[in-house]
Amino acid sequence: MADADASFLDLLYSGADRAEFDRFVEAHPGRAGDYDRALRLRDVIARHRAREAELSALYETAHDLTAIRDLDEILTAIVRRARVLLGADMTYLSLNDEVEGASYMKVTDGALTQEFRTLRLPLGTGLLGLVAQTGAPYFTADYRADARFVHRHDIDDAVAGEGIRAILGVPLLVEGRVIGALLAVHRTVRQFPPDEVSLLMSFAAHASVALENARLFARLDEANRTISAHATSVEAAALAHEQMTDLLLAGGGVAEVVEVLAQVLDGDVAAWDPAAQLLAGSDVDDRTAILEVARESARSGHAIQAGDTWVAAAVAAGEHVTTVILHGRTSPLDPVEQRTLERGALVTALVLVFARSVAEASERLGTQLLVDLVEGRELDPDRLRERARRHTFDPDAQLVLATAIIDGDRGAAARAASRFAVQHRGISADHHGDLLVLAPAADAIAFGTLVLAALGARATVGVATTSVGTVPAAYDSSHRAAIALRALGRHGEVGDVSSLGMASLLLGEATPEAVTHYVESTLGPVLAHDAQRGTALLSTLEAWFDRAGSIAGAAEALHVHPNTVSQRLARIGELLGPSWREPSAALELQVALRMLKLQNL
């Protein structure tokens, strides 16, 4: 009996067919009553096994939802598992396109034709379109013969191409909104029992969750990218702000600010002055278009995009101070980067305004220091060194004072003198109409030549070597030298008292006209005779004075016979009068000769 029970259980759990049970009953007639109960028990076991498989598939699908981030991958898994569990010939999932009012194939499993894989059904058309429109499940044992659905030739042709007959469709719902449909089909006519409908509904619910999660993940990823990009921009802006602040504190210039902006904003940067002259950086080609944009930026106070170029103008106290141009960048600016560019323009303006203020203050202080030195008011050595230190001016060095008399634009000359003084670690001032430059130098004439080159031909320059304790005397000396040069008509030249000799003493306040009048009144007849007759009386007179009144010495110097010198001197006596050899007259003649020579140098 035990063996019969064991055999019966083996048949029951092995899934034996009816013929095997019939043979068992024939072999064991006493067990015929168990036959019907055994078949019913087997059906129960089969249903439990099927339910177990369904639950396992649903569990795996739910697990995948937490592990898979790729939407297409998880939807493909859902459609494939639904096909296997339902034993369908094909399963597919569609998504609604609200703009076009249609539902299109997203994923298929078991499709045979490309036409079906790319099918789009207007909402309300066919079984799929009806499910996608109404949000209710529909099924049909034979779609081709079912008149409940709106048939279209192109859709029916695609269905016929796949050989589809029975179709079950359930909606994909997210928060009560229909986003698509999940369908299972057979290529034979058949019904769909309730458990299959329920199973497909479960898969549709998972698919809806997957789609919603994908949407949320996509939104989250986009938010993360936005936040990350924003954080990167903010970090870069903070770094740029820190670097530009450090530059301001360290006394950096426009070039350093431009370099920081170019690195932070990943492009080429140029800085212009209000006249559109390049101050630093990489300039642009189309300057005309940028100028108009710069004016608009100055009016609005914001950076403005012009093609692939950004322009930010900075205004201080109503004055357009600078324009910063960003170009050569491959990607657009975000709002944080735009503000960084605007802040960079403001920092550039601060650098320029600060430099201008420092220059003006330094110029004022330097001017006052030099005036005090010239007028002998600054005598305290400690205070002098403190004031000189502010101008990087070495009061212990050998100095040269250049005094320039200007004919023309004094303002431009004063600015040039100030720049020159800064470049040579000196100071400058405008004093009683003269432009003064005091700086360390070894050669006075060479230094004066540099000053003249900086000021231009409109200046006449007198120089004197000095120290801080003898500046008043140096000013007197250099001033007299400049006046003497002008009196001699030697504008645009450099001289000192040693090169000008007594002319600097005699002509210190004279005019060119006065010198010419003096020469004419003293030597006029001799000059006229030489000019009219082509004689050499003037050179003979000069040679005679140079040889201390020696006729032979003058003849030797002129390479002529002594009699020729005697004859020329006699002619000079006739022209100037018999007293021309007397000491007082002779001194006047020698001075006039010296003035004439200095005039013609």
Instruction: Show which of 465, 488, 506 is a domain's final residue.
Output: 506
Query: Quick check: is 257 in a domain?
Result: yes
Predicted confidence band of residue 126 (pLDDT cuts 50, 70, 90): very high
Say whether both 499 and 549 belong to one domain: no
**What is residue 9's predicted lDDT score, i.e. its pLDDT?**
58
- Distance of alpha carbon 310 from alpha carbon 399, whole angstroms: 50
**What is residue 1's predicted lDDT score, i.e. its pLDDT?**
46
Instruction: Show which of 445, 474, 506 is a domain's final residue.
Output: 506
Query: Quick check: is 501 in a domain?
Result: yes
Query: Quick check: is 367 in a domain?
Result: no
- Distance of alpha carbon 325 from alpha carbon 345, whole angstroms: 9
Q: Alpha carbon 136 to chain centroid distance?
A: 59
Amino acid at 127: L
**What is residue 17's predicted lDDT score, i.e. its pLDDT?**
60
pLDDT reading at 33 higher than 90: no
Instruction: Show which of 456, 483, 506 is a domain's final residue.
Output: 506
pLDDT-above-70 percentage for the chain? 78
Predicted confidence band of residue 360 (pLDDT cuts 50, 70, 90): low
- Distance of alpha carbon 22 from alpha carbon 35, whole angstroms: 9
Q: Alpha carbon 276 to chain centroid distance?
A: 17
Say whether both 410 and 278 belong to one domain: no
Strand pairing partners for 91? Answer: 109, 184
- Highest mean pLDDT of the ranges 64-68, 234-238, 550-554: 550-554
Kindly report which listed range (108-122, 259-273, 378-392) carries the lowest average pLDDT score. 378-392
Say whether both 169 and 115 belong to one domain: yes
Say whether both 426 and 479 belong to one domain: yes
CATH, residue 281: 3.30.450.40
pTM of the model: 0.42
252-288 burial: b if 16+ Cβ within 10 Å, else e: bebebbbbbbbebbebbbbbbeeeeeebbbebbeeee
Query: Quick check: is 237 in a domain?
Result: no
Say whether both 499 and 533 belong to one domain: no
DSSP state of 333: P
Q: Give, in order, the Cα–Cα distances in Å from 488 to each of 404, 599, 600.
A: 16, 5, 8
Query: Quick check: is 59 in a domain?
Result: no
Average confidence (pLDDT) over 221-238: 74
Query: Quick check: is 245 in a domain?
Result: no
- Tens-place pLDDT, residues 86-103: 889 999 999 999 888 999
pLDDT reading at 407 higher than 80: yes
Say whether both 34 and 72 belong to one domain: no
Say whether both 455 and 486 belong to one domain: yes
**What is residue 455's predicted lDDT score, i.e. its pLDDT?**
87
- Tens-place pLDDT, residues 502-548: 666 566 665 566 567 677 878 889 999 999 999 999 999 989 988 98
Query: Quick check: is 63 in a domain?
Result: no
- Average pLDDT of the chain is 80
More confident residue, 124 or 321: 124
- Distance of alpha carbon 399 from alpha carbon 474, whole angstroms: 10
**What is residue 228's predicted lDDT score, i.e. its pLDDT?**
75
Say whether both 17 and 87 belong to one domain: no
Query: Quick check: is 411 in a domain?
Result: yes
Scan for tokens 């001016």, then name that residue. Answer: 393
Q: Are 168 and 191 within 8 A, CB to CB?
A: no
Average confidence (pLDDT) over 484-509: 76
- Distance of alpha carbon 243 from alpha carbon 257, whole angstroms: 8
Say whether both 348 and 271 belong to one domain: yes
Residues 6+ apart with CB under 8 A from 245: none
Residues 6+ apart with CB under 8 A from 266: 329, 331
Say whether both 212 and 265 belong to one domain: no
Average confidence (pLDDT) over 439-443: 91
- Tens-place pLDDT, residues 538-581: 999 989 988 988 999 988 998 999 999 899 999 999 998 988 89
**What is residue 165's predicted lDDT score, i.e. its pLDDT?**
95
Predicted confidence band of residue 19 (pLDDT cuts 50, 70, 90): low
The whole domain housing 535 covers: 512-599
pLDDT reading at 227 higher than 70: yes
Say whether both 87 and 186 belong to one domain: yes
Say whether both 73 and 195 belong to one domain: yes
**What is residue 335's predicted lDDT score, i.e. its pLDDT?**
80
| Count of domains forming the chain | 5
